[in-house]
């Protein structure tokens, strides 16, 4: 088990040079009804179900370095070409290099909604970033929780169970700072009682958080192989085709 904040600081140094961060792709994506997407490199977790596993593991050497101005320009160009009204950073963990992210945000037109997808560890550990994000009212933060209990989180991500607390803190910090946010939860490994307890815990932070977004495991062949190697059983999953997968 590793300390994800320590790992994150290490990886952040590997994927940045000056103001630039490594990215592996810029693309139009169908999610959220259409969104311009910049896929960054570098993460502080090692989720067994990660669809970007190769990118996470090759982050220091894959892709190319891009300054904030270039990232903002590429996102805006894609959005204009596709008539999208939404932008995002995705791929690995966008908050890993917060100064770079804030510089990108500062260079984006304010009339585009920006969806920040994060595992919530950095925003939970360092409260000041929520205040900095509040300067951008077009930002909406989707905090993705990896499992419903500290033990599940640790089994799924490889990180110390104590870090399970950080996304809850992130939600608290964001709400206190007036930043729009919601929670998403990987539920495929969680029994009903764990889901219920999680819902109560989120509702205690804010009643609206009880209505969280359910994430489901997608059994891409490399993901299925990793799960089998580790002997991890899931309770529900989908095949890449979208059909329900047979039970593990
Ligand atoms: S937090 Fe996201 S990018 Fe990072 S390992 Fe987990 S699923 Fe992959």
Residue 198 lies in a domain: yes
Predicted local distance difference test score (pLDDT) of residue 128: 98
**β-pair type (180-186, 113-118):** unpaired
Q: What is the CATH number of the domain that holds 27?
A: 3.20.20.70
93 CA distance to ligand 1 middle (Å): 7
Probe target for ligand 1 pocket from 8, 47, 91, with the most ligand atoms within 8 Å of CB: 47
The reply to whether 220 falls in a domain is no
pLDDT at 242: 87
pLDDT of residue 245: 87
Q: What is the pLDDT of residue 239?
A: 93
Mean pLDDT, contiguous 10-residue spans, the chain (248 residues): 97 97 97 96 97 92 96 98 97 97 97 97 98 98 97 96 98 98 96 95 97 94 93 92 83
Residue 234 within a domain:
no
Residue count (the chain)? 248
Classify residue 195 as exposed, middle or buried by CB count within 10 Å of its CB (0-12, 13-18, 19+): middle
Q: In testing the pocket of ligand 1, which one of 12, 15, 50, 227 has its CB within 8 Å of the most ligand atoms?
A: 50
Report the nearest-CA residue for atom 3 of ligand 1.
Answer: 92
Which domain range does residue 72 map to?
A: 4-215
> How high is the pLDDT of residue 3?
98
Residue 231 lies in a domain: no
Euclidean distance between the first and the last CA atom of the chain, given in angstroms as a whole number:
25
The answer for 78, left when phi > 0, alpha when psi is -120 to 50, beta otherwise, is: alpha
Give the distance between the most distant pair of CA atoms in the chain: 48
Structural domain includes residue 233 = no
State the pLDDT at residue 18.
Answer: 97
Quick check: is 65 in a domain? yes
**From 37, 46, 56, 223, mutation site for ligand 1 pocket: most ligand atoms within 8 A of C-beta:** 56
Pocket of ligand 1 (CB under 6 A): 43, 45-47, 50, 52, 56, 92-93, 119
Helices H / strands E in the chain, number of each: 10, 9
Residue 28 lies in a domain: yes
Beta-strand runs (E) in 9-98? 16-17, 20-29, 35-40, 64-66, 86-91
Number of domains observed in the structure of the chain:
1
9 Cα to the center of ligand 1, angstroms: 15
- Return the pLDDT at 183: 98
Q: Is residue 239 part of a domain?
A: no
pTM above 0.75, yes or no: yes
């Amino acid at each position: 088990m590793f300390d994800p904040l320590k790992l994150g600081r290490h990886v952040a140094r590997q994927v940045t040079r000056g103001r630039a961060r490594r990215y592996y792709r810029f693309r139009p994506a169908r999610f959220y009804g259409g969104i311009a997407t910049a896929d960054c490199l570098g993460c502080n977790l090692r989720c067994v179900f990660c669809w970007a596993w190769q990118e996470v593991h090759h982050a220091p050497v894959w892709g190319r370095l891009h300054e904030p101005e270039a990232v903002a320009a590429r996102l805006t160009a894609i959005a204009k070409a596709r008539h999208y009204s939404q932008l995002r950073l995705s791929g690995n963990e966008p908050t890993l290099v917060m100064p770079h992210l804030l510089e990108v945000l500062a260079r984006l037109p304010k009339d585009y909604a920006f969806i920040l997808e994060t595992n919530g560890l950095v925003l939970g550990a360092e409260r000041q970033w929520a205040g900095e994000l509040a300067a951008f009212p077009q930002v909406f933060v989707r905090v993705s929780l990896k499992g419903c209990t500290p033990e599940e989180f640790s089994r799924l991500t490889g990180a110390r169970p104590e870090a399970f607390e950080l996304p809850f803190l992130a939600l608290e910090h964001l709400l206190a700072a007036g930043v729009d946010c919601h929670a998403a939860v990987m539920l495929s490994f969680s029994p009903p009682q764990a889901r219920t307890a999680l819902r109560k815990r989120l509702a205690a932070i804010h009643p609206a958080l009880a209505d969280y977004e359910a994430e489901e495991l997608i059994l891409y062949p490399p993901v299925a192989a990793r799960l089998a190697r580790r002997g991890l059983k899931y309770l529900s999953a989908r095949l890449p085709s979208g059909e329900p997968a047979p039970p593990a």
